[in-house]
Amino acid sequence: MATRRTTPLLKRLFASHSRLNPTRSVTYMHRPGDGTPRAVTLIPGDGVGPLVTGSVEQVMEAMHAPVYFEKFDVHGDMKAVPAEVIESIKKNQVCLKGGLATPMGGGVSSLNVQLRKDLDLYASLVNCFNLPGLPTRHDSVDIVVIRENTEGEYSGLEHEVVPGVVESLKVITKFCSERIAKYAFEYAYLNNRKKVTAVHKANIMKLADGLFLESCREVAANYPGIKYNEIIVDNCCMQLVSKPEQFDVMVTPNLYGNLVANTAAGIAGGTGVMPGGNVGAETAVFEQGASAGNVGDSKVVEQKIANPVALLLSSSMMLRHLQFPAFADRLETAVKRVILEGKYRTKDLGGTSTTQEVTDAVIAALE
């Protein structure tokens, strides 16, 4: 009796098909009232922000998603995030935002950072993974970077001691280190991840990063089924660009997480396709995963060629957070199908499409 051989090409096609057509053998049973439309605070932001948030609005409307937006005009040159915006986010508990421009120097604080502190969004999560059809230097990249979001070098405690000498304080606390470690291990446990890697520089900053590592080790002891290891941040960056497949979940202090997430995003396809969000005990803010404060340059805005993929995938994360899994699956599958087909891609992905053309393609791919 003849046997049927499956070629490597067919195997890849079957794998891609299964990734883009998620099915469940057991249905999702919602709780009564779960289908009630939810209010989401929307901050378009600066630069490319209105383009990519506008893309999300169109796709949500096309798929009749059970969300509606409360839109606020916030810009990075404001002295603070308006009180009514903070109140809206606290009321709705969910926000979607574009980047807010941060002036370089001059003592002007970042509203992106202020928002995270005001709402105590202590955990930043960026998922960096290969998208089928998008060529990258490395395959098998699927890294989740979980970053402490409220302290470290971003504490904003700087002063000029004497003219020409500035002191900037890095603050690390047991409380914040423990809760970010708990979030990372809980994420790994709930998502069937096998390993958590703590990124540090405790060989030099022995007290500050030493406290961070001590907290991670204590939390790791409560999760014997999840492998735990540690890596110095400079070696981490080298390992990321050479052997990224060794990493699974990474937990980091504030500044290191920013660097690691952007590096991981770069090897997996670029910041324009990586989703992410920030979460606290009460609220969550979803935005582009890596380089979240990047508002693009004027040419991208004028030509309307900003890549909406990252924020569309972040919106899929948001829909899952709101317990609308079927809508999240539809959106994610449609985005991945457009990437796989390769006909509509913005300049950062090697294409010539506009933001609107990619948006229209995603809407056409919805099932």
The one-character DSSP state at 167 is E
Instruction: Determine which of 1-15, 32-46, 260-274, 307-321 has the lowest per-residue pLDDT on average.
Output: 1-15
- pLDDT of residue 291 exceeding 90: no
Please tell me the predicted confidence (pLDDT) of residue 308.
Answer: 97
CA-to-CA distance for 288 and 271, rounded, in angstroms? 8
Q: How many CB atoms lie within 10 A of CB 57?
A: 19
- pLDDT of residue 9 exceeding 50: no
39 exposed, middle or buried (CB, 10 Å; 0-12, 13-18, 19+)?
Answer: middle
Output the six-digit token pair for 26: 């057991």
The one-character DSSP state at 193 is -
Q: Which SS3 state, helix, strand or coil, does residue 256 take? A: helix
Query: How many CA atoms does the CB half-sphere of 8 hold within 13 Å?
Result: 0
Please tell me the predicted confidence (pLDDT) of residue 224.
Answer: 96
Average pLDDT over residues 291-304: 82
Q: Which SS3 state, helix, strand or coil, does residue 134 take? A: coil
- What are the C-alpha distances in Å from 266 to residues 11, 262, 283, 294, 365? 27, 6, 28, 14, 26
362, 363, 365, 367: CA torsion to nearest 10? 130
Residue-averaged pLDDT of the chain: 91
Which residue, chain included where needed, has tokens 């941040």? 233
Please tell me the predicted confidence (pLDDT) of residue 31.
Answer: 87
Residue 229 backbone dihedrals phi, psi, to 5 degrees: -145, 175
- pLDDT of residue 298 exceeding 50: yes
Q: Which SS3 state, helix, strand or coil, does residue 214 take? A: helix
Output the six-digit token pair for 277: 């969000």
Q: With the C-alpha atoms ordered 222, 228, 231, 233, is the resulting torsion angle positive or negative?
A: negative
Overall pTM surpassing 0.85 (yes/no): yes
Which helix H or strand E contains 38, and what residues bound it?
A: strand 38-43
Which among 343, 327, 337 has a CA at the least distance from the CA of 56? Answer: 327
| DSSP notation for 43-72 | E--STTHHHHHHHHHHHHHHTT-SEEEEE-
Please tell me the predicted confidence (pLDDT) of residue 15.
Answer: 53
pLDDT bucket at 277, cuts 50 / 70 / 90? very high
